[in-house]
Amino acid sequence: DYLEAVRQTPLMREVAARRLPFEWADAHVVSDLPSKVQAPDGHEQQLMFPLLKQAMGEPRRELDLVSPYFVPGAEGAQELAAAARRGVAVRVLTNSLAATDVAAVHAGYARYRKDLLAAGVVLYELKPSAAPPPRPEEERRRNPGGSSAASLHAKTFAVDRSRIFVGSLNLDPRSVHLNTEMGVVIDSPTLARRLGVEIDQAVPTQAYEVRLLHGGGMEWIDRGPEGEARYRSEPDTGALRRLWVDLLSLLPIEWL
């Protein structure tokens, strides 16, 4: 019954009828070794992340990062800031405090925001009310079955609109050092460019853009059909939740 139900989905009918366009490209899997969980920290031969960085290559013009849990750590924040300072357009999409399901992760991310913004990194935080933009009828017919959920789940990174990664890896210490992760690096300008175009066109209205103010504070820009609204604290959150995140940021739990 389950297999028959799958066969009758719009996506599988499109595939079976050969009406769904495919993008043919070279791709390869990168993954952590299962022995990673037994290896002492620092044994990079067990880790997927160095392999991923090597496969993606050094960004020269553009680096787009989508990660629901984004905790770059001191070293990662320095690398992203250095890339932005040498002229790479670095853009990050992650969950806002109002959209995240783990406040402790947001606390780990928030401590790096100002340094990243000061270096020129563009930060977008998904709105809790976000939804995919309406697709034309032709696009829905050619590419049926997209998710309508508002929360951010995808983990995908693109370099110079030429290579793209899709997988299970979040940009946080837990994914890099503790979990065993897997993903696919695809050499496809078509797919990598598609992610870039989404961030160009859709993300600015589906996410808050975080900006650094001259006095050292931050603001969140909310763009919508009625224009722009600006906030000086985390939008769509209460004072108690913000206080809880501030308290979590004091705990030595970033490695978790």
Which tens digits make up the pLDDT trace of 57-68?
999 999 999 999
Predicted pLDDT of residue 29: 95
Pairing status of strand 26-31 against strand 122-126:
unpaired
Separation of alpha carbons 199 and 66, rounded Å? 10
Average pLDDT of the segment spanning 125-145? 61
Average pLDDT of the segment spanning 128-157? 60
| Amino acid at position 44, single letter | E
Range name among 95-99, 132-136, 179-183, 217-221 with the lowest pLDDT average = 132-136
Nearest to 206 by CA among 218, 222, 220, 230: 222
Whole-model pTM: value is: 0.84
- Residue that is written with structure tokens 């508002």 in the block: 150
Predicted pLDDT of residue 159: 97
- Residue that is written with structure tokens 């600006």 in the block: 230
| Amino acid at position 156, single letter | T
Predicted pLDDT of residue 130: 78
| Amino acid at position 142, single letter | R
% residues pLDDT > 70 (the chain): 89
* 24-59 confidence digits (pLDDT tens): 999 999 999 888 877 655 566 678 998 999 999 999
| CA torsion through residues 10, 12, 14, 17, sign | negative
Domain boundaries, the chain: 25-248
User: What DSSP line would sit under 16-29, residue for residue?
Assistant: HTT-S-----EEEE
The structure tokens listed for 131 are 């939804």
Task: Grade residue 3 by pLDDT with cuts at 50, 70 and 90.
Answer: very high
* 231-242 confidence digits (pLDDT tens): 999 998 888 988
Predicted pLDDT of residue 47: 85
For helices 239-248 and 103-110, what crossing angle results, to 10°? 70
SS3 165: strand
Class of domain 25-248: alpha beta
